[in-house]
Amino acid sequence: MANHKSAIKRIRQTEKRNIINRTSRAALRTQVKKFVAAMEAGEAEKAKEMFSPTVSIIDRTVRKGGLKKETANRMKSRLSARLKKSAAA
């Protein structure tokens, strides 16, 4: 257990930040799963509509510190490629 006041405060801040990051990443994963499910179901129009909100959630997660910038860029790139591939098929 921490003895200094600053260390105690840091523990409180870390716990709070962990909760925020966890909920943000969970929302991100849920949105990505919905997007992928729409693509796999062959609903190209629905997938196109869901692409923008999915990218928005990815960017928001980066801004809030729950995801690294390059990881987010890689996710967006892969989702975009899958969308283009499914639209072409």
CATH number of domain containing 42: 1.20.58.110
What pLDDT sits at residue 52?
95
Q: Evaluate if pTM is beyond 0.75.
A: yes
The domain tally of the chain equals 1
Whether the CB-CB separation of 73 and 80 falls below 8 Å is answered with no
| Domain range for 26 | 5-88
Q: Distance between CA atoms of 89 and 86, rounded to whole angstroms?
A: 5
Q: Distance between CA atoms of 31 and 44, rounded to whole angstroms?
A: 16
What pLDDT sits at residue 13?
96
30-48 confidence digits (pLDDT tens): 999 999 999 998 888 899 9
What pLDDT sits at residue 76?
97
